[in-house]
A and B are shown apart, each in its own frame.
Chain A
Amino acid sequence: MAYHSFLLEPISCHAWNKDRTQIALCPNNHEVHIYRKDGAKWNKIHELKEHNGQVTGIDWAPESNRLVTCGTDRNAYVWTLKGNVWKPTLVILRINRAARCVRWSPRENKFAVGSGSRLISICYFEQENDWWVCKHIKKPIRSTVLSLDWHPNNVLLAAGSCDFKCRIFSAYIKEVEERPSPTPWGSKMPFGELMFESSSSCGWVHSICFSASGSRVAWVSHDSTLCLADAGKKMAVASLCTETLPLLAVTFITENSLVAAGHDCCPMLFTYEESQGTLTFGGKLDVPKQSSQRGLTARERFQNLDKKASSDTANASLDTLHKNSISQISVLTGGKDKCSQFCTTGMDGGMSIWDVKVSNPCPSLRLG
């Protein structure tokens, strides 16, 4: 079954291990639960209890198999598996507001935490002191950082914020890596350098994503828009005003296609046409089955007209798989350039896995 109901409450955040046999999620409280897939069933195998506030972000490093979590308690923990127990190491983020999102860098030698302190903490391990330290990126962020995504070069970091902007910063840490070579976003990348900043949309930026090559970045905002900046076109921004409720999560599935989902409770496909610099809506994945429509009595029609100012006979219950907003999307197989499977979790406590059929000219989606 491609949809699994884990909880009756929202899944705050989730992360998969490398071979996709285990999922770590926060069940809307201060804990992280790890489930393992055994055949068709999901069994809870670990409960990670260390945070004193809701866990707002989880990321699972595929190669080093370490977890990093962050929460409203203003802390982050790096978890290492010792035998059969996950051991936490506290990381001092030096923030005075809730942490909101966390991401391992591609080489897993750093991680970034976005917070309500209007800054990003870039954390790396200092060998001499056996201790995680962090540096802050502050300017010119004016509000909570809601989402982060790393460029494949392990240095550039995209951040979406409640100040309505998407930005790309350099998070170069000379202690752990060599100088990065030039990218389409720029050549000089000292720590904290602002490489790109979008002009203001009118909504909080909920989710942000680099394409697999890193030359494109896409984001979704609370004003029901989807935007894409293309470094290959001098950072030109294409934007689409959608007809849907605001989207909360977005990911690339090929270099030209995106899947996004949000308060309409179903994933949707979008395609980027590079030559025209346009984004177009490619359809909702979750096409509800047409439920049989019985005729309405005259009385019911009049009541509909009175209550809803329309005699539309569509029923009010949700026909989508997820029964509440989808808050996170993760790529399962194929990477962001040839994604063949992705996963959604939402406020209905459910997790769903979707298959993608990648075909030219643009992918179509099928429920897995």
Chain B
Amino acid sequence: TRRRTGEALRAFHTAIRSSPGSARNPAMKEQAQGTMLKVLTSFKSSEIEQAVNSLDRNGVDLLMKYIYKGFEKPTENSSAILLQWHEKALAVGGLGSIVRVLTARKTV
């Protein structure tokens, strides 16, 4: 079923806000990853840019971490939409946001 833009955006912000952060519990992290992936793949291409622009610097860094996590465990068709998210997130976060994915000690 198609989601309305507003719902997708709200789900997105909720997923970002409730990211487990420093939780070490692997089950919690996996669940958060799964939720985030569902939210990201539910977006239409045209809605992505607006969603990225609604984030602050930390949010963009966090999104970039989830994008790369999504690349690690691809599902059918997930990489295509994640690449679009990547392009928009990169435009806002710059290469620095990717560097921080690589150097992060606490992964998502």
Contact of A245 among B57, B99, B104, B105 (CB under 8 A): B99
Q: Which residues of A contact B58 (CB under 8 A)?
A: 241
The answer to whether B103 touches A243, judged by C-beta atoms less than 8 angstroms apart, is no
Q: Which residues of B contact A223 (CB under 8 A)?
A: 99-100, 103-104
Within 8 A of B (CB), among A235-250: 241-246
Contact with B along A241-261 (1 / 0, CB 8 A): 111111000000000000000
Chain B, residue nearest A310 (CB): B87
Q: Which residues of B contact A243 (CB under 8 A)?
A: 93-97
Contact of A309 among B61, B83, B99, B103 (CB under 8 A): B83
Contact with A along B78-95 (1 / 0, CB 8 A): 000001000100000111
The answer to whether B95 touches A224, judged by C-beta atoms less than 8 angstroms apart, is yes
Q: Which residues of A contact B99 (CB under 8 A)?
A: 222-224, 245-246
Q: Which residues of B contact A222 (CB under 8 A)?
A: 99, 103
Is the CB of A152 closer than 8 A to any CB of chain B? no
The answer to whether B96 touches A241, judged by C-beta atoms less than 8 angstroms apart, is yes
Q: How far is the CA of A241 from the CA of B97 in the complex (A)?
A: 8
Chain B contact residues: over half helix, strand or loop, or mixed?
A: helix
Chain A contact residues: over half helix, strand or loop, or mixed?
A: loop
Q: How large is the interface on B (under 10, 10 to 19, 20 to 34, 35 or more residues)?
A: 10 to 19
Q: Which residues of A contact B87 (CB under 8 A)?
A: 309-310
The answer to whether B95 touches A245, judged by C-beta atoms less than 8 angstroms apart, is yes
Q: How far is the CA of A225 from the CA of B87 in the complex (A)?
A: 22
Contact of A242 among B83, B94, B103, B104 (CB under 8 A): B94
Contact of A203 among B57, B97, B103 (CB under 8 A): B103
Given the known interface contacts A241-B61, A309-B83, A310-B87, the answer about A202 and B96 at a Cβ–Cβ threshold of 8 Å is no
Given the known interface contacts A309-B83, A310-B87, the answer about A202 and B100 at a Cβ–Cβ threshold of 8 Å is yes
Q: How far is the CA of A301 from the CA of B94 in the complex (A)?
A: 23
Within 8 A of B (CB), among A202-238: 202-203, 222-225
Minimal beta-carbon separation of B97 from chain A (angstroms) = 7
Contact with B along A304-335 (1 / 0, CB 8 A): 00000110000000000000000000000000
Query: Which one of B61, B83, B97, B100 has the highest number of Cβ atoms from chain A below 10 Å of its Cβ?
Result: B100
Q: How far is the CA of A309 from the CA of B100 in the complex (A)?
A: 22
Q: How far is the CA of A222 from the CA of B101 in the complex (A)?
A: 12
Chain A, residue nearest B61 (CB): A241
Q: Which residues of B contact A246 (CB under 8 A)?
A: 99
Chain B, residue nearest A203 (CB): B103
Chain B, residue nearest A201 (CB): B103
Q: How far is the CA of A244 from the CA of B93 in the complex (A)?
A: 9
Chain B, residue nearest A312 (CB): B87
| Contacts A/B (CB < 8 Å), 21 sampled | A200-B105, A203-B103, A222-B99, A222-B103, A223-B99, A223-B100, A223-B103, A224-B95, A224-B99, A225-B100, A241-B57, A241-B96, A241-B100, A242-B94, A243-B93, A243-B96, A243-B97, A244-B94, A245-B95, A245-B96, A245-B99
Given A202-B104, A310-B87, 15 extra CB contacts under 8 A: A202-B100, A202-B105, A203-B103, A223-B104, A224-B99, A225-B100, A241-B57, A241-B58, A241-B61, A243-B94, A243-B95, A244-B94, A244-B95, A245-B95, A246-B99
3 smallest CB-CB distances across A and B, nearest first, come from A243-B94, A224-B96, A223-B103
